Amino acid sequence: MSDPADTIVPSPAWPRTCAADESPFVTSGASVERTCWLIAAATLPVLAATAWIFGVAVLGQFAAAVAGAWLGERLCRRFLVQGGRGRLPHLIGLGLLLAMTLPPTVGVLVPLVGGFAALVVGKTLLGSLGNYLWNPVLVGWAIVSVVFTGALRPAQWPFLARDHQGTGSLWAVTGGPGYRGFELSPPPPGVEAWAAPRPVDVLVPQYPPLFGGGGSPRPLLEVFRDRLPPWSDTVRGTVGGNMGETCAIAILAGGLCLTVCRVARWTLPVGALVAVAALAAIWPVQIDGPGSPAVWFPLSQVRDGFPVGIALVLFHLTGGGLLTAAMLIAPDPVTTPLTNRGHLWFGVGLGVLTFLFRVNGLSLGAAYWALLAMNTLVPLIDRLTRRRVFGT
């Protein structure tokens, strides 16, 4: 007999000890190609939203990331024994996910190098297909974040303004206090894009130095009124951020696709989102500006009739890279636990680390660093949540 809570649920994943091209798989009968095609297909809603929010020109960056992965695969096939088994759908999905973690202003060199590094270092040198410990997408992202630090930390985060979606230029941009949200802010003459900070970056200074990154806190009501767009803009994607982070609707659509097709398990993203929501609801934050005491359990706080606590939680959920990491990147079957309970633990850990990184000043890439940390803990989680067998 075994404990049902710890039972390994078959899913379209490849065993971590199998050969790189072993297929079909004993646990599910699903091939590597099908799983990788589904992961690539899950990025299509985000690609469509990206082209609309940032302009069709940024699709060249996605193509560059895929090209970098393909070049890396060709190099490995030529010079390495374990090369030559890189499957086309895996290369495509890897490149598309890598590009989603980058700003829309990086050009083509950064995603090209990122795709190449993800394939060569993240996949081939660190284990080959089906055997790597860290998600290759995030290995590539970590490398370019070190090599191209300035490019991944732009001074402004542009997105297209009203009446310029899809075909506008991100370089005809303006920013400043005139922006009040996508629907309420028609662009001035000659301007095709707005520039705004990422919402989670705006919230970091509200956390006192003892608990967070410090800075110059303002009254939280003033932050929501004057420095952040309406929360609905984070749902539609018209906010500053990396190309695959801003549109919550598109990300959720892709994640739902992976869940329905049994590539991902719902326990992982739910665990991550619930963990972040719970911490944002209780973590102390300076609500009334400089010199004010930090308020625990801010969820219930209201100022001038506006629920600042609820807004704080909502922006933590959709105003950064958490959704992208939890819904689209984390479900890689190779770098996640084997059991349902393990996926829940993994998701909760991802959410906790993401929030702690954010409020301690590491808001840019917090979810990606947290996901790499949780990838490292997968063997331990597997050991702690493995199936327990009683009797003979």
Query: What is the number of domains present in the chain?
Result: 2
Residue 178, pLDDT above cutoff 90: no
Is residue 147 located within the same domain as residue 164? no
User: Given CA atoms 152, 354, 327, 2 in this order, what sign does their dihedral have?
Assistant: positive
Is residue 137 located within the same domain as residue 182? no
Q: Tell me which residue range forms the domain holding 33.
A: 4-153
Residue 18, pLDDT above cutoff 80: no
Does the residue 149 lie in any domain?
Answer: yes
Answer with the residue of higher pLDDT: 52 or 128. Answer: 52
Distance CA 194, CA 123 (A): 37
Does the residue 208 lie in any domain?
Answer: yes
Does the residue 387 lie in any domain?
Answer: no
Confidence category of residue 29, pLDDT binned at 50, 70, 90 = very low
Distance CA 174, CA 237 (A): 18
Which of 153, 188, 209 corresponds to the end of one domain? 153
Neighbouring-strand partners of residue 174: 194
> What proportion of the chain, given as a percentage, has pLDDT over 70?
85
> What does pLDDT average to over the chain?
84
Distance CA 224, CA 270 (A): 26
Answer with the residue of higher pLDDT: 242 or 171. Answer: 242
Distance CA 373, CA 350 (A): 8
Does the residue 75 lie in any domain?
Answer: yes
Is residue 316 located within the same domain as residue 369? yes
Distance CA 231, CA 313 (A): 11
Does the residue 389 lie in any domain?
Answer: no
| Helix axes of 248-260 and 32-42: crossing angle, nearest 10 degrees | 160
Is residue 171 located within the same domain as residue 228? yes
Among the ranges 110-114, 126-130, 225-229, 294-298, which has the highest mean pLDDT value? 110-114
**Residues 72-105: pLDDT tens digits?**
988 888 876 554 455 788 889 999 999 999 999 9
Is residue 216 located within the same domain as residue 356? yes
Is residue 92 located within the same domain as residue 194? no
Q: Which residue has the tokens 């091209």?
A: 21
Does the residue 61 lie in any domain?
Answer: yes
Is residue 348 located within the same domain as residue 245? yes
Is residue 139 located within the same domain as residue 9? yes
Is residue 218 located within the same domain as residue 334? yes
What is this structure's pTM?
0.86
Span 31-49, mean pLDDT? 88
Q: Note the pLDDT of residue 77.
A: 80
> What proportion of the chain, given as a percentage, has pLDDT over 90?
50
Q: What is the DSSP string of 360-385?
A: TT--TTHHHHHHHHHHHTHHHHHHHT
Span 124-134, mean pLDDT? 77
Does the residue 385 lie in any domain?
Answer: no
User: What does the block give as tokens for 18?
Assistant: 């199998």
Does the residue 91 lie in any domain?
Answer: yes
Is residue 312 located within the same domain as residue 196? yes
Is residue 260 located within the same domain as residue 142? no
Residue 19, pLDDT above cutoff 60: no
Is residue 135 located within the same domain as residue 168? no
